[in-house]
Amino acid sequence: MPLHGVILRKSYCVYTVDEGRGGEAATLNNIGGVYFSLGEKQQALKYYNQVLPILRAVGDRGGEAATLNNIGLVYSDLGNKQEALKYYNQALPIIRAVGGREGEATTLFNMAQLERDRGNLQQAQTHIQAAIEIVEDLRTKIDSQELRTSYFATVQGYYQFYIDLLMQLHKKDPSKGYDALALHISERSRARVLLELLTEANAKIRKGIDPQLLAEEQNLQQQLDARDKLRQELLNKTAPTTAIQKLEKEIADLSSQYRELQTKIRTSSPKYAALKYPEPLELAQIEQQLDSDTLLLQYSLGEERSYLWAVTPNSINSYELPRGEAIETSAEKFKKVLRKCQRPGIDCQKLPAEQKAKDFQEITQAATELSQLILAPVSGKLGKKRLVIVADGALEEIPFTALSEPNQISQLEKSPQAGKSNYQPLLVNHEIVNLPSVTAIATHREDLNKRQPAPKTLAVLADPVFEANDQRFTGKPPSLGTELNLEQSSLKQSARNLNRAGWGRLLGTRTEAEQILKLVPPSESLYAFDFDANYNLATSPKLKQYRFILFATHGFADPINPESSGILLSQINKEGKLNNPSILRLRDIFNLDLGADLVVLSACETGLGKDVQGEGLVGLTRELMYAGAKSAVVSLWQVNDTATSKLMPQFYTAMLQQKASPITSLREAQLKLWQQEKWRNPYYWAAFTLQGEWR
């Protein structure tokens, strides 16, 4: 029985074979791997060398190649690079002979690292380029988007290594354009599944699908919703572990069926076979996406060094930054101090002046520290340009608008009044846009900019009914029994998972929505308050008629299971009966067909999601792009209801009356809050960011 395993840098192959000499080889190999992981390299070599003759005797060529790689790894770690290269060179032809493409890529990656360590940068480039060509080919052969995403996450180290190698070559010879090639590799490493989803959406790939498949999809969605509610109910009742485990297995099985069905729907599309996915952009194509007032700042965080590329329509400049760990630590600190006011039971407006001043000082110091790490090197290029940010890692969860202008000293003045500081956020001089990648926005533009504008202006869904004891019921509140209890239990569990106090009514959303609706003639708007702000309307084809869509309600992004993320709508109808479903989930948004220039999620943490290596934050924003929204305004934390009800009407006034672009309008609205002493703390205005098209 052949031995199988994945060979990875700094790791070893684990084999599971239980018969004859193959089983003996597997055991010896795995013992060697344990010694390797414990740092006992000589002991690891001893066992690996015992494995080789057995594998050769039983004719297991794939296992032999894997073990040769493992021996090469040991010698490389011991500093004997020449001996390591000898074993890699023995492994490579064997792997190619047995057709082990993934093993071939890993071997080439190991050889690239070895040559880099020996100072042979050009030879290292040859090896890593060949390795990446293999992994790119392998990922295209995976039909399942989930498996494609998972596989891409496992090979991100290849791209990070290649970027770092190219930037080291650039340092040696700046005239050869290695920094531009590194930027291209950065694009290759980003949001590829999103790029493919956008391409499929533009091709209307779901049209012409067998109706039976779509019916199966809907049925599975309903089964998943029902079992998820039941699971939360069992958790809240501390039901027996066996009952919960049984239900979780059912959910896992249904989720697997749902993913398989999604793959079947895609691959059975008449348009799928002819679909051609775009290649990630190169420098000249990236420059074409920009204008003279716009500066692209693209980040790549690495283990040893990080990098920043600053690109205009006719130039590229690159900068070496500190290692990713230092940047991420600083970003987490900034995020933490910004969110102090969202703690349950805390009203920062009622804090003593001294405490407000202390909190503000913490924010300004954290904003300055992070700015010095990631913006100071490029400070001379910023001017007053619009900044298009392609972030990486923890930088995806922080508002660049609230970072200090670089090289600015941030200290509170002696005045005890809160907020007195020379801190000046980037917001003052810059519009700021966030993108998952430049290639994604280029692909999005290609199709959406051709479509006709939606005929009407504004659709608003606001202030839904969440509870049976809501005062909007006339007469005796309804008693909904088990069904509502299940829904309430599910929401309470979600609140606990997200460290929230709960999902109470947001009175400010009604004020916000009513003010915004005054800006548009009734014939140009659609509004749904109270019971009417429901799932049926949110998924109705009516919404495709509107250029601007506003959801003013609770929302949440699940960082563990992004498919559970959603927008809360009215749970109960006018008759006091349960709306099922009542949450616009990620999969529901995925299936919408919007004609919107902009969707605003005036809700909490709608810009977050699960951080997936190679894809970034997987959450509501990317699904809105897939559904047809040119851009989205989303939030990075649990926003303040009152502050949001002040910001949003100003935002819409600039867009609808002054005809300003969404990004200009958002900045103007945020500036107005920043200029008021009461709302100066970035917590009140910086949560909202624009992602997607800015033109």
Strands 456-464 and 598-601: unpaired
> Which listed CATH number (3.90.550, 4.10.860, 1.10.3470, 3.40.50) goes with 451-692?
3.40.50
Residue bearing the bigger pLDDT, 605 or 537: 537
198-207, 243-252, 430-439, 605-614 — which one is most confidently predicted on average? 430-439
For residue 9, what pLDDT band results from cuts at 50, 70 and 90? very low
Q: How many CB atoms lie within 10 A of CB 349?
A: 14
Element (H, E) at 462: strand 456-464
Distance CA 157, CA 560 (A): 22
Contact 187, 296 (CB under 8 A): no
Give me the pLDDT at residue 450, please: 79
How would residue 606 be classed by pLDDT, with cut points 50, 70 and 90? Answer: low
What is the rounded radius of gyration, in angstroms, for the C-alpha atoms of the chain?
A: 27
**pTM here?**
0.83
Q: What is the pLDDT of residue 210?
A: 73
Burial of residue 545 (number of CB atoms within 10 Å: 0-12, 13-18, 19+): middle
Q: How far apart are CA 488 and CA 468, in angstroms?
A: 10
Predicted confidence (pLDDT) at residue 516 exceeds the cutoff of 70 = yes
Average pLDDT value for the chain? 82
What percentage of the chain carries pLDDT values higher than 90?
42
Domain range list for the chain:
20-199, 204-267, 283-438, 451-692
CA 191 to chain CA centroid, Å, is: 8
**Does position 494 have pLDDT exceeding 60, yes or no?**
no
* pLDDT higher than 80, residue 496: no
- Which of the four pLDDT bands, split at 50, 70 and 90, describes residue 465? confident
Q: Is the pLDDT of residue 234 over 80?
A: no
- Contacts (Cβ under 8 Å, ≥6 apart) of 345: 501
pLDDT of residue 395: 95
* 502: confidence class by pLDDT, cuts 50, 70, 90: low
Q: State the DSSP code for 453.
A: P
pLDDT at position 272 is 59
**CA dihedral for 608, 611, 612, 616, sign (positive or negative):** positive
Helix (H) or strand (E) holding 610: strand 609-612
Tokens, residue 182: 């590194």
pLDDT per residue over 92-147, tens digit each?
Answer: 999 888 888 888 999 999 999 999 999 999 999 999 999 999 988 888 887 777 78
Q: Kindly tell me if the per-residue pLDDT of 304 is higher than 60.
A: yes
Mean local confidence (pLDDT), 483-495: 48
Instruction: With cut-offs at 50, 70 and 90, classify the pLDDT of residue 449.
Output: confident
Which residues lie closer than 8 Å to 194 by C-beta, 6 or more apart?
Answer: 436, 437, 440, 615, 622, 625, 626
**Residue 26 CA to its chain's centroid (Å):** 39
Task: Check whether 413 has a pLDDT greater than 50.
Answer: no
Of the pLDDT bands very low, low, confident and very high (cuts 50, 70, 90), residue 149 is confident
Under 8 Å between Cβ of 612 and 149: yes
Give the pLDDT confidence score for residue 567 in this predicted structure.
Answer: 86
pLDDT-derived band at 177, boundaries 50, 70, 90? very high
20-199 matches 451-692 in fold: no
In this model, does residue 608 exceed pLDDT 70? no
The pLDDT, as a whole number, for residue 663 is: 95
Mean of the pLDDT values across residues 170-174? 95
Distance CA 137, CA 328 (A): 32
Answer yes or no: is pLDDT of 2 > 60: no
Per-residue pLDDT, averaged over 540-565, amounts to: 82
Question: How sure is the predictor about 208, in pLDDT bands with cuts at 50, 70 and 90?
Answer: low
pLDDT (mean) for 663-673: 96
E strands, 214-337, are 294-300, 306-312, 315-321
pLDDT at 685 exceeding the cut of 60:
yes
Q: Give the model's pLDDT for residue 422.
A: 77
pLDDT of 364: 93
pLDDT beyond 80 at 87? yes
Instruction: Please tell me the distance from the alpha carbon of residue 193 to that of residue 148, in angstroms, as a whole number.
Output: 8
Q: What is the pLDDT of residue 482?
A: 46
State the pLDDT confidence band at 233, using cuts at 50, 70 and 90. low
Whether pLDDT at 297 is above 70? yes
Residue 488 has pLDDT above 60, yes or no: no
Question: 294: which strand partners?
Answer: 386
Give one DSSP letter per residue of 130-176, joined into a string.
HHHHHHHHHHHT---HHHHHHHHHHTHHHHHHHHHHHHHHHHH-GGG
Provide the pLDDT for residue 201. 64
Residue 536 has pLDDT above 50, yes or no: yes
- Predicted pLDDT of residue 672: 95
Q: What's the CATH code, domain 20-199? A: 1.25.40.10
The DSSP line for 491-560 is: HHHHHHHTT-------HHHHHHHHHHHTTS-GGGEEEEEETTSSHHHHTSGGGGGEEEEEEES-EE--SS
Q: What is the mean pLDDT of residues 423-429?
A: 94
What pLDDT is attached to residue 6? 35
> Is residue 253 scored above 90 in pLDDT?
no
The predicted pLDDT at position 333 comes to: 96
Rounded-to-10 torsion of CA 188, 191, 195, 201: 170
Is the per-residue pLDDT at 369 higher than 90? yes
Q: What is the mean pLDDT of residues 356-378?
A: 93
